[in-house]
Amino acid sequence: MKVEVLQEKLSKALNISSRFIANRAQLPILANVMLEATKTKLTVFATNLEMSSVVSIGAQVSVPGKITVPSRILFDIVANLSSGKVLLEAQREQLKMEAGSFKGNVMGINALDFPNLPTSLGKSAFKMPQIELIKSLTKTLFCVSGDEARPILTGVLFVFSTNGLTLVATDGFRLTLTKIPVKTAIKDMKVVLPKGILIEIAKQLKSEPIGVEFNQESNQALFGFDDMVLSSRIIEGEFPDYEKIIPKTSKVTLAVDKQELLQTIKLSSIFARESSNVIKMTINKEGITISSESEKTGTQSSQVDAKIEGLEESLQVAYNFRFIEELLNVIEGDLLKIELTDGSSPGVFKDPKDPDFLHLIMPVKVQG
């Protein structure tokens, strides 16, 4: 293999690929990226066996071929080179590199042992609007569980129907639901995709529609861009019946200024950090009183103005402040709408500016 590429393009491709390499690879070759030169492009392959990336860049190819080299070493070298042309030449199991005054040799591994990765989407692929998908992922990913003991909750549920696409995520203590009114060829399907691949998709800020394919035989999801194909396993298992969890009715409705509530939550968190992150919200006709206490730090309470409907008597509910703070960070509008039934039922949080978004938080049981 002998190829010439621009440092800027190679560095960008290696930066993407580096995020698909396992921190502790089970096999030495999985710590490597595979470089393959064909006709007028150089393709960089990377995988951790859970998800993979195939990124292509334009190149002047003198001799086609391929080789695998350690991802970290190659990325660090290229990132520190000056802008301009980089010459790559594979000789047996070494990669010779030249760029300006720099010359180096990187030891590699034969590419024959590298896993086969999908490089294109099939005929069953369909298009999705990328901007709308990324917007919905931003409002969903923060709610995904990190508990590997419940794998099904470590991903986002995609529900395809005739009405569009619904994204759902839950960690067992809270739940987020957002809808995308998009028409696809898939009318009735549910898949759970890992958080990792969805974070990578959210980083690809492009306006063009994204190609999507679900391969049931290989249990893989593929995502196609102009110069890149990302793939991931589909998480197997039964996602919780989220529709049964969401309350159908409520007794009390509150409308509160987002920024004022966020500032108050941050003040309360200073005292709540040492008390399992618990804050108490007391709702009465005057508004919302948010309080927290700590045996070491002390106590505090703050009043927040709110428009309240349906309140017959004072209501108190306790939440993990971090859940509310993370929710407020993804709300688009200036107001937050809260629907409550009592102090022990899930609270429903809505963004009046986005009718396709709904968030649910389970209250914390506290003594007294």
pLDDT tens figures, 125-150: 999 888 899 999 999 999 999 999 99
Rounded CA-CA distance 174/168 in Å is 11
Instruction: Classify residue 151: in a domain, yes or no.
Output: yes
Rounded CA-CA distance 143/105 in Å is 45
Q: Which of 201, 217, 243 is the last residue of a domain?
A: 243
Q: Which of 113, 137, 170 is the last residue of a domain?
A: 113
Bridge partners (DSSP) listed for residue 192: 157, 235
Rounded CA-CA distance 77/58 in Å is 20
Q: Is 1 exposed, middle or buried (0-12, 13-18, 19+ CB in 10 A)?
A: buried
Return the structure tokens found at 248: 């159908």
Together in a domain, 26 and 67: yes
pLDDT along the chain (368 residues), means of 10: 98 97 88 97 97 98 97 97 97 95 96 95 89 93 95 97 93 96 83 96 83 91 95 96 94 97 95 92 94 90 96 95 97 96 95 96 85
Together in a domain, 15 and 52: yes
Q: What's the distance, CA 236 to chain centroid?
A: 18
pLDDT number for residue 270: 92
pLDDT number for residue 100: 94
pLDDT number for residue 368: 55
Together in a domain, 7 and 109: yes
Instruction: Classify residue 121: in a domain, yes or no.
Output: no
* Domain CATH number, residue 273: 3.10.150.10
Q: Which of 208, 226, 243 is the last residue of a domain?
A: 243
Its domain, for residue 209, covers 126-243
pTM higher than the cut 0.85: yes
What's the domain count of the chain?
3
Instruction: Classify residue 15: in a domain, yes or no.
Output: yes
pLDDT number for residue 26: 82
Together in a domain, 251 and 238: no
Tell me phi and psi for residue 37, to 5 degrees.
Answer: -105, 125
